[in-house]
Structure 1
Amino acid sequence: MTENSKTSGALRLADWGLIRAQGEEAAKFLHGQLTQDVVLQTPNQGRLAGYCSAKGRLLALMLAYKRNSDELVLALPSELLPATLKRLSMFVLRAKCKLSDASNELALWGLAGEAARAALGDQAPAEVWAVTHIANKLVMRLPDALVEGQSLSRYALLQAADEAAPALPALTAETWQWLEVQAGLAWVRGATVEQFVPQMLNLELLGGVNFQKGCYPGQEIVARSQYRGTIKRRTFLFKAEGPAQVGQELFHSADAEQPAGLVAAVGTDQGQVLLLAEVKLAALEDGSLHLGSATGPQLQQRPLPYEIAEPQ
C-alpha cells in the first residue's frame, strides 16, 4: 500500500478513550506518575508517556495534551481506560487534581497522508509530538509511517465530540492500524499489560521516556535497564506468513519450548500481515522466528523507521 487515496484521510479513533486531569496541581501529579516530563510541557508540545507498575512494566501508553496550565488530556486505548483511571485516582490523595473520563465530551481522530497535510496547511505541526491549536482543536504530530520506503505523515486531532468530522476522505480502521505498525509504535493493549518495560517497546527511541525527570513508579528499573546495558529485548517489524494477533507468542526455530517474543501490534492490508513484536535480541542472530510455535508461520524482518543501536 503506497500513499494514495486509501492512506490519505481521517478516522475517528473510536477504540480510544480520554482522561481529563484538571486542577492547579494536575501537571505536578501526572509528572510523578508517568515516564515523561509534563510539568515543563507547554500547550504546543505533546507527550508520548508510559504508565508503569512498581516493577517498571507498562500498564498503559498514552498521548498527553496540555490544553492549559491547569488541564491535561490523556488519550489511550479505551480497553485500558477504566483500570488506568482507577489506579491513577488512588494516588491523587490531597493533590489539587481531579481526574475524570472525558470520552463522551472529547474525540480523538487520526489523520494521515497528503490530504491531511494539505488540509492543515501552515498549521500542520512540523516536528513529531509538536502540537498546534486550530480554534479549539489540538493537532499533535505522530511518528511518520514508513510505507514502501516513503514517509507518510500522521497526526492525532483532539476536538469536542460534537464537532463536525474533519473535511477529509474517510480512512478505515484497518488502514490506520496498518500505518501505526509501520510507524514502529506499538500501544499497550489488554493482552500486553505488564508485559514490557518501556525499552522493550523502543519507547525511549520514540521520545516516550525522560531520564532527567524525577521519580515515577518503576523509574529505578527503567533507568537501570538503560544505563547498565541490560536491554536484551526490543521491538522489531516483521512480515508474517499468516494471521497474527496481539499477545501471541513467538518461538525460535531452535527452541520449541521457550517463547522468544510477543506480538505487540498487527496490521493487515489485502491479506498481507505486518506486525510489531518484542523479541530477544539473541533470537535474531541465527535461525528463524515463528508465530505460535517453532513450526508456525515464519516471520521475515522488515526495516523500522528508526535505528536500534547494537547492544553494548
Structure 2
Amino acid sequence: MDWLNDFAPLSHQASDTLPELMLTHLNSWGVVTLIGDDAKSYLQGQVTCDVVQLDASESTFGAHCDAKGKVWSIFRLFHHQNGYALFEPKSSIEKQLAEIKKYAIFSKVTIEQSDSILLGVMGEKADQWIDTLSEQQGNVRAIEGGTAVRIDAQRWLLVLNQNVAVALVESAQATCVAESLWCRFDIEAALPIVEQEEQTQHIPQALNLQALGGISFKKGCYTGQETVARAKYRGINKRAMYIVKGHAANALEEHTELERAVGENWRSAGKLMAHYRFNDGETIGLVVLPNNLEADTPLRLAHQPESIWAIQPLPYSLDDE
C-alpha cells in the first residue's frame, strides 16, 4: 500500500505553529470489536467503565484487569457497527484479547481484533473536516466505511475499511504526518498508553483512570473490582502517572529508565511509558511515580545522568469524585 509512505515525521519544536489539518496512520494502535446479543452484558462484567450507561454518541475510557486488579489494557470504548470497539495499543491486544475471550463461549458474543484502518485527524480544522463526513453531531459518529470518534478538542479517530481510508487520505487537503505526533498529544493530555511491557504492572488508579472517567464505582461486579474498590475506599494506591520533561541528547529507546533524586543519591523511578522528542532535543514523556513525590523532585535519564528532568502539571485533577 504505497499510500502508507505519505506519513512523514513533522520536524518542529514545542512552540511551533502546526498545520491546521493533519492526518496520520495509527499503525501501532488497534481495535478489538465485540458483536452479538450479549456484547453489552458480557463487556459490563469484564471492564471498569459502565458499558450499560454509554450513550451511542459518546466514548469512554476503561480498563480490563486481571483478577488482582492489574491492568491488561486501557482503552477508549465506543459503539461501532452494531457492536462495541476498544481502541488500544496494538502491542497489548494479543494478551488482552485472549483474556477477555476466556468466558465468551458462554455468551452470544463474537470478540476479535479488527482489520480496520485507523486514521488520526488533528488540528484546528479537524472538527470542520469531520463535519464533511457525517451529518451527525455527536462525539461518536457513524460515517461511510466506519466510525469517527472525538478524542479531544482538536483530534478525532477514524476506524475505517481500507478502501474508504485510502480514498480519504488521497482526497483530503491535509498534511500527512507520522503517528509520533499523535503520541505527543496523548502525552500532553496525560492519557495512559499501556503497551505490552506495562501489562499487569499497575492498577487503574496508578494510571489516573479515575480522573479520566474510566472507572465506575456504582456498576456491578467485574474482574479485579475488589482491588480497584479498595484503592478508592481504603487509600491503598500509592502511585500515579505524571508528565515529565527534560532534554535528550539523542533519540531515546522505548521504556527508557528514569531515576529520581533521594537526598544526594539517585534511585530508580520507573520507565517511560511513552515519550516524544522535539527537534531541539526537548523531550516529554509519561511515567508512573509514587503519588506522594514532591512536585519539584529532580529526575534524570539513567543513561544520561547529566540531563535533569522535571515533573510537569497534569491537565486534570487526580481526585476521583
Using the size of structure 2 for normalisation, the TM-score is: 0.83
Q: Secondary structure at the match of 1:301?
A: strand
Provide, for residues 45-72 of structure 1, a one-character-per-residue CA deviation record: whole Å limited to 9, x for no partner.
212111111111111111222135x511
**2:158 counterpart residue number:** 157
Distance change >3 Å, CA 285–CA 176, structure 1 → 2:
closer
Distance change >3 Å, CA 268–CA 293, structure 1 → 2:
closer
**1:37 counterpart residue number:** 50
Comparing 255-264 and 188-197, the one that deviates more: 255-264
Q: Choose the corresponding residue for 2:110, options 85, 98, 108.
A: 98
- Measured in 2, the distance between the counterparts of 1:285 and 1:112 equals 31
**1:203 counterpart residue number:** 209
**Amino acid in the other structure paired with 1:306:** Y
CA shift for structure 1 position 286: 5.8
**Amino acid in the other structure paired with 1:175:** L
Mark the runs of 5 or more structure 1 residues left unpaired by the alignment. Answer: 145-152
**1:189 counterpart residue number:** 195
Contact map agreement 1:48 1:62 (CA 8 A) in 2: yes
**1:308 counterpart residue number:** 318
Is the counterpart of residue 226 in structure 1 residue 232 in structure 2?
yes
Is the counterpart of residue 265 in structure 1 residue 277 in structure 2?
no
Distance change >3 Å, CA 57–CA 249, structure 1 → 2:
farther
- Measured in 2, the distance between the counterparts of 1:124 and 1:287 equals 49
**1:282 counterpart residue number:** 292
Distance change >3 Å, CA 184–CA 80, structure 1 → 2:
same
Contact map agreement 1:125 1:141 (CA 8 A) in 2: no
**1:213 counterpart residue number:** 219
- Measured in 1, the distance between the counterparts of 2:123 and 2:227 equals 38
- Measured in 1, the distance between the counterparts of 2:67 and 2:224 equals 4
**1:176 counterpart residue number:** 182
Mark the runs of 5 or more structure 2 residues left unpaired by the alignment. Answer: 1-13
Contact map agreement 2:244 2:286 (CA 8 A) in 1: yes
Contact map agreement 1:283 1:289 (CA 8 A) in 2: no
Distance change >3 Å, CA 110–CA 88, structure 1 → 2:
same
**1:148 counterpart residue number:** none
Q: Choose the corresponding residue for 1:248, options 256, 268, 272.
A: 256
Q: CA RMSD in A?
A: 2.7
Provide, for residues 185-242 of structure 1, a one-character-per-residue CA deviation record: whole Å limited to 9, x for no partner.
1210022111211111111111211111111111111111112223321111111222
Distance change >3 Å, CA 209–CA 292, structure 1 → 2:
same
- Measured in 2, the distance between the counterparts of 1:126 and 1:298 equals 45
- Measured in 2, the distance between the counterparts of 1:209 and 1:249 equals 29
**Amino acid in the other structure paired with 1:269:** F
- Measured in 1, the distance between the counterparts of 2:60 and 2:66 equals 19
